[in-house]
Amino acid sequence: KYLKTKGIYKDSVRIEESVGRGFVDLVENLKLEGPEAEQVVRRSVQPLLDAGVDTIVLGCTHYPFLIDVISKVAGPGIRIIDPAPAVARHLVDVLREKNISQTDENPERELITSGSDKTVKALYDTCKNQV
């Protein structure tokens, strides 16, 4: 999806890319704020700021957990686009389309992970009221 979207806009906007090196480790170790998180985020965001970007689009499912740190490092003049809510809404649409959604207001959820159960539970608790 990213490459397709990038191709559509490449002639009308300048696109700077930067990998969030260390972001996944921060999230999976539940280091979502503080000096260490800021230092790791700054290493990837500063080159974008130096290049004059006005918008940062988060491109990984881990990155929204760091949105507060990214916003702090980027500063008030930088727009942050988090595609996660749109992805979640699309998932709900697909589940309904396939007739596999739950309509209960408090549906039971089963979380399956190849990572740490503790980490997934903590991240779920962090964001469960945002979707």
| C-alpha distances in Å from residue 25, one per residue of 29, 30, 56, 106 | 6, 8, 20, 31
Q: Residue 124's pLDDT is what? A: 76
Say if residue 45's pLDDT is above 90: yes
Work out the pLDDT band at 105, boundaries 50, 70, 90: low
For residues 35 and 1, the model is more confident at 35
Say if residue 7's pLDDT is above 60: yes
Mean pLDDT of 104-123: 73
Q: Residue 81's pLDDT is what? A: 93
Q: What amino acid is encoded at 33 in this protein?
A: E
Largest CA distance in the chain: 48
Q: Residue 131's pLDDT is what? A: 46
The three state secondary structure string of 27-94 is HHCCCCCCHHHHHHHHHHHHHHHHCCCCEEECCCCCHHHHHHHHHHHHCCCCEEECCHHHHHHHHHHH
Q: Residue 111's pLDDT is what? A: 66
